Amino acid sequence: MAEEQPVASVWTRPQRRREQPALSRAQIVAGALELLDTEGVEALSMRKLGARLDAGATSLYRHVANKDELLELVVDEVYGQIEVPDIWGRDWRTAVTVCAESVRAVLVRHAWIASVLGQVGLAYLGPNVMRLNERMLGLFEAAGFDLPEADRALGTVMAYVIGTGTTEAAWLTTLARSGQSEQEWVARLRPAAIEATRQYPRLHALATAEEENDPESTRGDGFRYGLDRVLDGLAARLT
């Protein structure tokens, strides 16, 4: 029987030791994150990052084997920006809501991440992802879920947050490319939406309704409404 090959991942590959490398892993990750935030995932290449860091691509390959491993590192770095509060002094729903809002903010701040979450190998073995999941599981256990159901509850919440957050990030990216503000875009779209929905009474009622809130507030309210309904369902399991 052929010997099984280890799963390819930056987290499972032994790191080569070199004396005083020209660049540290932290410098490489910081440079890649800046490049991704400013130019998007399509612009990321080992050669371009090396030039940005004033170093040859060879210096990067001392830390990562390829672009996929680099993305694993950067994705884990982004996950390290997510806040998971302690359960003590607050109820579990409040703590989970704080974390969910933090995930949403990170996804919007780093809009490129939506396109790589399912394509980064074993990024979910990174230390920041591990700490996030461990602490979130603790929140659900403190609420009263046993560990297997806490794992499912965590997956359900994260599926909602990531799905909603990536959609929002895609919208804001498109908006940024248009050069218009969100208010300008919505104002220009409204007449066309009203006309297109004339034969659909429910959609027409929504299109013609006067919106008092600005679009950003509306997005936030919509996110919290959905999150509250998800948490309502999980709370019902505890009763």
Which CATH number does the domain housing residue 29 bear? 1.10.10.60
Q: How far apart are CA 114 and CA 108, in angstroms?
A: 9
pLDDT in tens, 34-68: 999 999 888 888 888 888 888 776 777 778 888 88
Largest alpha-carbon pair distance within the chain? 71
The answer as to whether 111 is a domain residue is yes
Same domain, 50 and 155: no
Same domain, 99 and 74: no
Which band of pLDDT confidence, cut at 50, 70 and 90, is reported for residue 80?
very high
Which band of pLDDT confidence, cut at 50, 70 and 90, is reported for residue 3?
low
Contact 82, 106 (CB under 8 A): yes
pLDDT in tens, 172-182: 888 888 888 88
Tokens of 194: 């009203």
Residue with tokens 């994260």: 158
**Would you give the distance in Å from CA 119 to the centre of its chain?**
13
The answer, yes or no, to whether residue 73 has pLDDT greater than 70, is: yes
Same domain, 141 and 167: yes
The answer as to whether 158 is a domain residue is yes
Note down the domain range covering 32: 25-79
Q: How far apart are CA 131 and CA 116, in angstroms?
A: 20
- Mean of per-residue pLDDT scores for the chain: 85
The structural domain count of the chain equals 2
The answer as to whether 37 is a domain residue is yes
Contact 122, 11 (CB under 8 A): yes
The answer, yes or no, to whether residue 113 has pLDDT greater than 50, is: yes
Residues in the chain: 239
Which band of pLDDT confidence, cut at 50, 70 and 90, is reported for residue 19?
very low
